Amino acid sequence: MNNRRVVVTGMGVLSPIGADLNTFYDSLIWGRCGIKKIEDLVELQFGCQVGGRVELEKSPCYPYLETFLLSEASNVVKYAVVAGLEAWNNAQLPICETLDNEPDYDTGIITGSAIGTIDMYENKILPSIQNKTIRRLRSTTIEHSMLSAASANLANILGLANYIGFNSSACSTGAESIILGFEHIRQGLATRMLVGGVDIYTAAGWAGFDAMRVTTRMYNNQPLQASRPMSASASGFVPAEGCGMLVLEEYETAIRRGAPIYAEIVGGSLNSGGQRKGGTMTAPSAEGVIRCINAAIQESYVDVNEIDLIAGHLSSTMADVLEVQNWSTALHRKGKDFPYINSLKSLTGHCIGATGAIETIAAVLQLKEQFIHASIHCEDLHPDIEKIIADEKIPHQTKKNIPLHYIAKSSFGFGDTNAVLILKNIDYEYQREK
């Protein structure tokens, strides 16, 4: 049962460029940047004082937090619930507010996070311990703060009774959760999976990145200019928060119920470079990345020349050059023959463990609507990237009516972790038949 087709039938997003799927889509079309100066970081004397924040209250599913008694939960839970329920609605699936529906043994959930529910410990649990007021903690503290809290609470709301899991692989977390859900369906272990990634803003969660000096410090007074993937003037990534959730579904089941189908996932690969041969805890091994790309493409039965767009990890660090080089080596394509490539982080910043899921949603929208969103602030293209690919393959403005058949989405994380998935335009096979 490992040849079942898997499609995307629903999506929900909470991001710095939109608290719902429609606003997010509009921001992609218009190239809107959501990075702002964060006064808390100024007061705390962070080196990087800009970032991407979300507006939770603007989510169409925000009222559900009160309905399901989640006002005291970690923001990880809140973000995942509003994005997850938007994805569920978007897939034309019902939400039972009375929680008395039958268990759904065919549907599971995997929600991942790199930093986790740190806000509960920072703002509630540790202060209670230090003040010796533990008895004042609510009885729901554990269910609102455990690492699997987002998955467990969404499973409770929807009655999901297949595999209920949590994953964490640094910045590849969101893409990894999608691949894990894809494999679970393809192997016949589930009919449907709700998958995604979430990470939130907290000073404690972002402090470590600031201490590493991997976040930009040059654009504190120019936040809209701060995230510059592939640019010669890039000076580090811009931290951000958000959540992306997708409903993955077995193709025949989706067809029978008349579900909306956005795209098909035709392959995915997860690996590591082993922190050897140039790979370290914080830097990717080129060999590991290339092997991951090749494995995803091989599994997809796609020719390297059929990849039309790379939705890159590209985070505005020194690793951008290596990433482009790895793609060129893996695909045996360069110059004008290289696929289009863009980076959502130029608009949103780096949403850490959520970034792979949010960027996959952006990739699916581009595939469905046949456009390529701008990768802004890289007009001064890094000279080492310019040697590999033609500048025209990096859209500085949105390109509309571009025929896209296959998109490769990549995410790479600390620990030398790699995730690559291949998305297919669901209409492409019919076009080829004609």
Q: Are residues 49 and 185 in the same domain?
A: yes
Question: Is position 235 within any domain?
Answer: yes
Evaluate whether residue 262 is within a structural domain: no
191 and 312, same domain (yes or no): no
My answer on whether 32 and 123 are in the same domain is yes
Task: Tell me, yes or no, whether 242 and 273 share the same domain.
Answer: no
Domain that holds residue 157: 6-256
How many domains are there within the chain? 2
1 located within any domain = no
* Six-digit token string for 20: 């719902």
Q: Would you say 324 and 388 are in contact if contact means Cβ atoms under 8 Å apart?
A: yes
**pTM of the model as a whole:** 0.97
Contact indicator for 83, 247 with CB cutoff of 8 Å = no
Q: Give a yes or no: residue 24 inside a domain.
A: yes
Is the same domain home to 187 and 168?
Answer: yes
In a domain, 27, yes or no: yes
What does the pLDDT read at residue 2?
Answer: 65
Which of residues 233, 256, 279 is at a domain's end?
A: 256
Domain boundary among 230, 256, 282: 256
Domain closes at, from 209, 233, 256: 256
Both 236 and 279 in one domain: the answer is no
Q: What is the CATH number of the domain that holds 92?
A: 3.40.47.10
Angle at 307 between CA 21 and CA 318, to 5 degrees: 80
Amino acid 431 reads: Q
pLDDT at 432: 46
271 and 302, same domain (yes or no): yes
Whether residues 345 and 426 share a domain: the answer is yes
Query: Is 425 a member of any domain?
Result: yes
Is 167 inside a domain boundary?
yes
Q: Are residues 198 and 325 in the same domain?
A: no
* pLDDT per residue rounded down to tens, the chain (434 residues): 468 999 999 999 999 999 999 999 999 999 999 999 999 999 999 999 999 999 999 999 999 999 999 999 999 999 999 999 999 999 999 999 999 999 999 999 999 999 999 999 999 999 999 999 999 999 999 999 999 999 999 999 999 999 999 999 999 999 999 999 999 999 999 999 999 999 999 999 999 999 999 999 999 999 999 999 999 999 999 999 999 999 999 999 999 999 999 999 999 999 999 999 999 999 999 999 999 999 999 999 999 999 999 999 999 999 999 999 999 999 999 999 999 999 999 999 999 999 999 999 999 999 999 999 999 999 999 999 999 999 999 999 999 999 999 999 999 999 999 999 999 999 866 444 43
**Is the same domain home to 252 and 299?**
no
- 216 and 272 assigned to the same domain: no
Residue 67 domain-assigned? yes
Same domain, 98 and 23: yes
